[in-house]
Chain A
């Protein structure tokens, strides 16, 4: 039974040491981090940047534009699933960021064809009604898009943990 007072003393010393270490480490951290905070310059609406991208593959150029991009259809609000109603006021999309950057100067021909700015309307829509839906389950391989239903689905694709 004398073990408990000894262990109690050890725990007490450890706790006090941790407190002192914590406070001391924090003070040292603040001292080390103490430097002038630069005032942040106002951010411009558009920022010049540089894009490095590989040239599109031949197989990519043959594919239809719908493969990668999607048009957000002008759909009415219609939910098939239960969602909490959004009480957030509609935010003007012109104040928010766009979905695609603007190419300055010469743009790559393939990007110019595929680039479609979505409208600023709400994005709530039923996914099953979007165009290009038939492409959703296509597998992209070296041969291009392959219908996965023609392939055997692997067991590990299913959500089984063990």
Chain B
């Protein structure tokens, strides 16, 4: 076996499918005009009608707040139990359904930017995958640390669990994650590509479990299960619970209707023809995973969820890092929604897509606003009207719902039971913090405030819980 590596100069196709042109000035004027018009209309209606009723201003406040609360409670219960039931039905069907093994050739694309600390652990976890037919393509997106050196030491025909695994690397100028993924997809010869983050670690049976869904030719992509690896701190434990209860349970519910609306960045397996239909990744949003998912759905492909294709990722361990991440997520998702807004306002184009878009719009905009409003309402009536017991009753109700969902999610995914008590403070502290960030990010997105990618700090946490430790043999790269 020749172990020498070879370097080639290549020219990557850097084009993207052009997004529809936007006239920012016209958009802002339209938003100002429409929102101003309706606000004025509402104020005039209230001013003219209140004297005609028996309501006083304080009475109007109480009445409208009660109506809003009832609506919020109704939606809360529908949302909770709807997601819970659909996730339960999906998991139940999953346990009785059988699918044969399917082992096509897969390329695993690992885009990295300044991931020198964690790259080796990620590649080690990929070499430990229990699958016979895959390769690894590292795409170094113009890193400024030792990522290129670490990557070069990993290139070669490495020993995997089921044979020899080819590890290649592309060094390209910095252009963002979307272009890095496109570069890897361009180079790949496989029918299927797994796109992941540079700091993620996959469990050994991830590929085997995820690829079986592609026996159905209607399936264009499979979303994996993302879990937090760096726990043992309150903030990261809360995020671990959030991933379980807020993200993975919702994905199970979406998997029930085969319309997962966001394939997570840490683990997503795509049929290359579906990606081609979607025009591959685009770099015009900060949530390229949401954008490509919506594009794939728009072309009629199905997207399913595989709970046993697990990727462990490093969650932010400080509030600053957490806010940075959630700010980018919120603005990125809103950019993706705006890019596909024709499905919001015209369900005849693709009704299923409209349904998914409206649910994304609701989760990104309406739900955080409702949550903030409810908490502010209870604070106001507690301080100004002395009704402090209401906030306690509200918290009890929400905590019971969250505890119930947490117990189900922990049991369904065989997770750590110690995460369940965090449900008591989950919504009142953690979700409120996230929702305030979301609200601020939403305002900035509508105002068109510029943003940059930012970079989460990596600490390097070693091997993932699901894989065995492994030393990667070093191959000598030759020029």
Cβ-defined contact, A4 with B392, below 8 A: yes
Q: If A47-B173, A52-B155 touch, does A81 touch B216 (CB 8 Å cutoff)?
A: yes
Complex Cα gap A108–B298 (Å): 38
Cβ-defined contact, A51 with B187, below 8 A: yes
Complex Cα gap A41–B276 (Å): 26
Tell me how many residue pairs across A and B have CB atoms closer than 8 Å. 291
Tell yes or no: B247 within 8 A of A by CB.
Answer: no
Complex Cα gap A145–B11 (Å): 32
Tell yes or no: B122 within 8 A of A by CB.
Answer: no
Cβ-defined contact, B208 with A157, below 8 A: yes
Cβ-defined contact, B103 with A18, below 8 A: no
How would residues 288 to 332 of chain B score, 1 for a CB under 8 Å from any chain A CB and 0 otherwise? 000000000011110000011000000000011001100100000
Cβ-defined contact, B320 with A25, below 8 A: yes
Cβ-defined contact, B437 with A22, below 8 A: yes
Q: Among the interface residues B13, B152, B167, B191, which one has the most CB atoms of the partner chain A within 10 A?
A: B13
Q: If A54-B475, A57-B1, A103-B10 touch, does A123 touch B98 (CB 8 Å cutoff)?
A: no
Cβ-defined contact, B133 with A140, below 8 A: yes
CB distance from B57 to the nearest CB of A (A): 24
CB distance from A54 to the nearest CB of B (A): 5
Q: Which residues of B contact A9 (CB under 8 A)?
A: 388
Cβ-defined contact, A97 with B187, below 8 A: no
| B112-120, B428-436, B461-469 - the one binding chain A | B428-436
Cβ-defined contact, B10 with A49, below 8 A: yes
Tell yes or no: A87 within 8 A of B by CB.
Answer: yes
Cβ-defined contact, A18 with B432, below 8 A: yes
Complex Cα gap A153–B428 (Å): 49
Complex Cα gap A23–B95 (Å): 44
Q: Which residues of A contact B432 (CB under 8 A)?
A: 15, 18-19, 22
Cβ-defined contact, B16 with A53, below 8 A: no
Q: Which residue of the partner chain B has the closest CB to A94?
A: B15
Tell yes or no: B172 within 8 A of A by CB.
Answer: yes
28 A-B pairs in the complex with CB atoms less than 8 angstroms apart = A5-B389, A7-B392, A14-B428, A15-B428, A22-B436, A23-B436, A32-B320, A45-B13, A48-B12, A49-B170, A50-B7, A52-B151, A52-B152, A52-B170, A54-B157, A83-B301, A95-B17, A97-B14, A99-B186, A101-B10, A103-B8, A105-B8, A106-B8, A128-B217, A153-B100, A159-B94, A159-B212, A161-B308
The residues of A with any CB-CB pair to B shorter than 8 Å are 4-5, 7-9, 11-12, 14-16, 18-19, 21-23, 25-26, 28-29, 32-33, 35, 37, 43-55, 57-58, 67-70, 72, 80-88, 91, 95-108, 114, 122-128, 136-142, 148, 153-154, 156-162
